[in-house]
Amino acid sequence: MKKFLIIMLFLMLPLASASQLEFYPNENAFKEFLSDGRTYYVVSGESEYSQAWGWYVDEKLSQFKDRGSEVLVLVGNVYDNPEMKKLWNLTGLPPEASLKPSIIVLDEVVFFTGDEKSIYLIEKAFSPYYRFRSREIYVLLFTGFSLALFFAFLFSRHGTYTHFFYLLVVSLFALWISNSMPATIDEGFLRTTFQNALLGTKNSLLSFALSSYFRLYSPTEEALLVLHFFVLFFTSTLMFFTAPKPYRELGFLVFGLVFSSPAFRSSIADISTNIGVFLLVLVAALTLNAKFTEDTPKTIGQIFLLSLVVAVGSLVWPYLIIFPLFTFFVFPTKSIRNSLYVGLSIAFFILGINVFSIPDISLSFDLSPLFVLLKEGILQLILILYLLFNFRRSILNMRGGKALFFWLLVVFIPLLAYSSQCLPMVQYISAALAVRMICELPTQT
């Protein structure tokens, strides 16, 4: 009867498009397979795509079931998987049907089908389900708790109340992620970055880094979720390092101004955007805490490391490469160390693009991100305009952190009208600038 229903569904439904995954006989059959307690073993096709997604299916199913021999799971299509070709007649379907993205559940065999252009869609079947082993949960909680205590101890040396404000941020962060799922995997990320990571290609630096991470952890959404949470955690922590050094506790204000924006929270749910924001905050923190004015081997080492971080970050978020150009103007320019920073950053970036491709930058004129920035960042924008008006004679003489964020804001606001992906970055820059201007104007750093 199940075989007859599958045949009828294939005949009645139009051919699946490249953006649709089909379940046969229905999605409930797949849910039952995940929870029926039977063991499984995976046989992948011979193509690199089938093997990559077979690795994913095997690891993902292991979160729900034990490996064994009760149910055979086939991944690929009849043209690259000999075992699937041998058993395909059980479905009663023509061979070309196996090229469509689908999941066919029979009594003792489950087919995950698709060609190299559509097989990535089998991830959609698992995306609603997250499951962690008990050991993973304990390790992650211990790691997060230890990191929070470490940074709290570190911040206790930067003021009387800094570590209390930091622990408050950690508490708010934990409350936020426990009441929502601030992570999404869109189809573009799935088709390119995630799939390339499974394939182990060096198409982009992010794919290459994720591939290494997957081999250490697992090639699943759970691994991405863990990475996403820790990137958010470090972004929140680094915001304290971008506050003025005598007032590290104002990192809490930067965090509050940024994370209070619904648009910001929605934007960083995207994993790629979250990593981009993290890289911007990381480079800002390293730059503002580097000692450009000292002439020591340690300073040269810091500049070398900072240049490398900027170049690596620019391979993931290309706009970051302009960062050294601004530091050249806003930090003391008498030293050749600024020139060394700019030169090394550009040199490392050029070397990087000879190995990895950079993400495509799509520009289209759209004023809606500017209106969102105005609506949700009105507090810091009014504050910035007020301080600039009252201390307008000091603008051109600004140096240090406030000048860095000011000129970044001047450049990125017009860019925001053409690249909406920059919205969370601009929101962070405006918040950091507002906090620094409160502390530093009319004095100079």
Instruction: Give pLDDT, residue 18.
Output: 45
- Considering the domain architecture, whether residues 161 and 104 belong to the same structural domain is answered as no
Let me know whether 166 and 72 are in one domain.
Answer: no
298 and 335 in a common domain: yes
Indicate the length of the chain as a whole number: 445
Residue 34 lies in a domain: yes
C-alpha 152, offset from chain centre = 25
Residue 334 domain-assigned (yes or no): yes
Domain annotation covers residue 236: yes
pLDDT in the model for residue 158: 77
Residues 118 and 155 grouped into a single domain: no
Q: How far is CA 226 from CA 152, 267, 271, 305, 388, in A?
A: 21, 18, 11, 26, 41
Answer yes or no: do 119 and 225 share one domain: no
What residue type is assigned to position 429 of the chain? I
> 323 and 436 share a domain?
yes
In a domain, 173, yes or no: yes
Look at the chain and report how many structural domains it folds into: 2
In a domain, 445, yes or no: no
Contact by Cβ (8 Å): 50, 58: no
61 shares a domain with 157: no
pLDDT at residue 366, rounded to an integer? 86
Around Cβ 131, how many Cβ atoms within 10 Å?
14
Handedness of CA 217, 218, 222, 224 (dihedral sign): positive
Domain final residue pick, 86, 107, 126? 126
**Which domain does 71 fall in, by range?**
2-126
Q: Indicate whether 178 and 239 sit together in one domain.
A: yes
Task: Among 64, 95, 126, give the residue marking a domain's end.
Answer: 126
Task: Kindly report the pTM of this predicted structure.
Answer: 0.88
**Residue-wise DSSP of 347-358:** HHHHHHHTTSBP
Do 140 and 191 lie in one domain? The reply is yes
Token pair in block for residue 325: 């150009």
pLDDT number for residue 365: 86
Q: Is residue 10 in a domain?
A: yes
Whether 280 and 321 map to the same domain: the answer is: yes
Tell me if residue 82 falls in helix, strand or coil: helix
| Ordered per-residue pLDDT tens for the chain, 445 residues | 444 444 444 444 444 344 589 999 889 999 999 999 999 999 999 999 999 999 999 999 999 999 999 999 999 999 999 999 999 999 888 999 999 999 999 989 999 999 999 999 999 999 888 888 888 889 999 999 999 999 999 998 877 788 999 999 999 988 888 887 667 888 888 999 999 999 998 889 999 999 999 999 999 999 999 999 999 999 999 999 998 888 889 999 999 999 999 999 999 999 999 999 999 999 999 988 877 666 667 777 888 899 999 999 999 999 999 888 887 777 765 567 778 888 899 999 999 999 998 887 778 888 898 999 989 888 888 888 887 777 666 666 667 788 889 889 988 999 999 988 899 999 999 999 989 888 765 544 4
Mark which of 126, 156, 183 sits at the end of a domain: 126
Concatenated DSSP letters for 5-68? HHHHHHHHSPPPPTT--EEES-HHHHHHHHHS---EEEEE-SSHHHHHHHHHHHHHHTTTS-BS
Co-location of 146 and 84 in the same domain? no
Select from 88, 99, 103 the least CA-distant residue to 21.
Answer: 103
C-beta of residue 205 within 8 angstroms of C-beta of residue 146: no
Q: Are residues 117 and 160 in the same domain?
A: no
Between CA 40 and CA 44 the distance in angstroms is 13
